[in-house]
Amino acid sequence: MFGKLVGFLYLANVIFLSAALNWTKKQYTENCTCAQNWQLQFMNKYFIIAILFNLFGFFSIFINKTWSVIFEKYLVPMMSVLTVGHVAVAFSYFFDLEKKDCDCAKGPQEKLMYYISFIQVIVVGGSLLMEIRASR
């Protein structure tokens, strides 16, 4: 039961991350030059890596127990650190957009991405605390 729930969460996250990846690509196709910088490129790469990570996590639940152990022991901590970096870059990016008054990047998707960054902080922070607690 727990494995199916986690698998569902991985797939749900793939859907969100795909929408986020689409949002970053949209910033380039609409010639929104004030939104195009290294932070947007970093977020674009992060979303690709995170999609692959979540797909691997989904398949590791159902394919092989060894893959699941490798995933949890090595990949989850690395992805947690990368996610913390992503959140820092995302907050910086959104504050820069506000400072620049970049109207072409504003909209409901931009606000959703901003608020999702807060959720990521809570999820990753909670995951790291649970991991530390479990290792004691």
Whole-number Å distance between alpha carbons of 43 and 117? 11
- The pLDDT, as a whole number, for residue 127 is 63
pLDDT(3) > 70: no
% of the chain surpassing 70 pLDDT: 82
Q: Model confidence over 96-119: pLDDT tens digits?
A: 888 888 777 777 777 777 777 777
Find the angle CA(71)-CA(125)-CA(19) to the nearest 5 degrees. Answer: 70
Whole-number Å distance between alpha carbons of 46 and 115? 17
For the chain, which residues make up each domain, given as ranges?
2-135
- Res. 16 pLDDT band, cuts 50 70 90: confident
pLDDT(1) > 60: no
**Dihedral of the CA atoms 5, 52, 124, 60 (nearest 10)?**
40
Over the chain, what is the mean pLDDT? Answer: 79
- The pLDDT, as a whole number, for residue 134 is 59
Amino acid at 92: S
